[in-house]
Amino acid sequence: MAIDERYARQVLHWGEQQQQQIGTAVVLVAGVGGLGATVSQLLVRAGVGKLYLVDDGLVDWPDLNRQLLYAEEDIGSSKLMLAIDRLRRINSAIEIVPLPGKIDETFNLPGDVTVVADCLDNYQSRFLLEATVPKGCCLVHAGVQGEQGQVLTLRKGQSQRLSDFYAGALQPGGDIPVTGDAVAVMAGLQCHELFAVIGGEPKLLDRCLVVSLSDFHISFLDI
Amino acid sequence: MVQIQFYSLIRLLIKQEKLEIPACENETVGQLLDRVQQQIATPFLYKLLDDNRQLHTGTIILVNRHNIRHLDFLETRVNDGDVVAFFPPGAGG
């Protein structure tokens, strides 16, 4: 099968130049849970150049409502290794590199990463991830809770820091309510912004897209 | 005028996205909050402040794009032309 054939339908939309930019992009997806499982799948299907995945979790029953790479037989297995396997079966041409472990003070961002996707599920890890992003590199953040979510792009050294924007926003206690449809919508929006960043024209740079599925409302919060 | 912007669950709670009110000289965010509540039928201050009028952790308050926790908290001054935003972000992923 020709590569041209695999990507034919999206090239009709965004053109050869954008496809080439995606094909040379190196994306790190932090977290392959709700957001990350879908974001990484969309990136691989689109033909991203190289993908780093970070996660330390195991598949559990409450994950299956929204984490679209996993199934019942995966309960108890490593999300990261399952994701790598599934993604390679979707697109064997993509270089996919697992980075096992948590995002903590010892995490180092690989030097060839060109854009970072924050698909994490807690503020502490998000802030630690942000600290590793090099100057000039874009961090595309997303979060979701219930039927609400947000996507925001920050350029390190130019934008205000995510940890400053979210100062005081402590993690809620207990399990966060979340549905599969809301996560899929927010992951799609996050990936859409990742493609915009890769194409050199981020739409949400310093501009938080706030989505309320409760009444199909979107708004922008400039920061 | 001071422009007030409500996002996400706060917007859904009060069924209002924006509000403009005249600026008051030397007014703080804390004082502004009380004035905004007077103009909105639905109680919403309990989402932002606890019984001791300390900031809750679920909603961030921005004045001209900056989190008031990096300014003077509820003592942050609000001036004519300022934009004040209330945003409870989604925490999960």
pLDDT at A171: 86
- Describe the crossing of helices A180-198 and A8-24 by its angle, rounded to 10 degrees: 60
Write out residues 12-71 of B within 8 Å (CB-CB) of A: 12, 17, 55, 57-60, 62, 65-67, 69-70
State the DSSP string of A1-33.
--HHHHTHHHHHHHHHHHHHHHHH-EEEEE--S
Contacts of A168 in chain B (CB under 8 A): 55, 57, 60, 67, 69
CATH code: domain of residue B17: 3.10.20.30
Domain housing B79? 2-87
Q: Distances from the Cα of A134 to the Cαs of A97, A99, A163, in angstroms? A: 19, 18, 15
| Structural domains in chain B (count) | 1
Contacts of A220 in chain B (CB under 8 A): none
pLDDT at A206: 98
pLDDT at A1: 60
Assess if residue B69 is contained within a domain: yes
Q: Check A160 against B17: CB less than 8 A apart.
A: no
**pLDDT tens by residue, chain A, 223 residues:** 666 799 999 999 999 999 999 999 999 999 999 999 999 999 999 999 999 999 999 999 999 999 999 999 999 999 999 999 999 999 999 999 999 999 999 999 999 999 999 999 999 999 999 999 999 999 999 999 999 999 999 999 999 999 999 998 878 888 999 999 999 999 999 999 999 999 999 999 999 999 999 999 999 999 9
Q: How far apart are the first and last CA of chain A?
A: 45
Show the domains of chain A with their CATH numbers: 3-222 (3.40.50.720)
3-state SS string for A74-104: HCCCEHHHHHHHHHHHHCCCCEEEEEECCCC
Assess if residue B92 is contained within a domain: no
Strand order in the sheet with A148-155: A95-100, A50-55, A26-30, A115-118, A138-145, A148-155, A207-212, A217-222
pLDDT at A169: 84
Write out residues 1-20 of B within 8 Å (CB-CB) of A: 5, 7-9, 11-12, 17
Residue A171 has which token pair?
Answer: 């993690």
**ipTM of the prediction:** 0.95
Q: Distances from the Cα of B72 to the Cαs of A125, A156, B34, B68, in angstroms? A: 26, 25, 17, 6
Q: How many Å apart are CA A15 and CA B39, to the nearest integer?
A: 51
**pLDDT beneath 50, residues of chain B:** none
Q: Is B14 helix (H, G, I), strand (E, B) or coil?
A: helix
pLDDT at A172: 86
Q: Check B12 against A214: CB less than 8 A apart.
A: yes
What is the residue whose two structure tokens read 């807690």?
Answer: A122
Q: Distances from the Cα of A117 to the Cαs of A31, A78, A95, A139, A173, in angstroms? A: 9, 20, 17, 6, 24
Q: Check B70 against A222: CB less than 8 A apart.
A: no
Q: What pTM was computed for the model?
A: 0.97
Contacts of A186 in chain B (CB under 8 A): 90
3-state SS string for B29-85: HHHHHHHHHHHCCCCCHHHCECCCCCECCCCEEEECCEEHHHCCHHHCECCCCCEEE
Assess if residue B28 is contained within a domain: yes
Amino acid at B35: R
Nearest CA-CA partner of B11 in B49, B50, B47: B47
Nearest CA-CA partner of A132 in A120, A143, A144, A146: A120
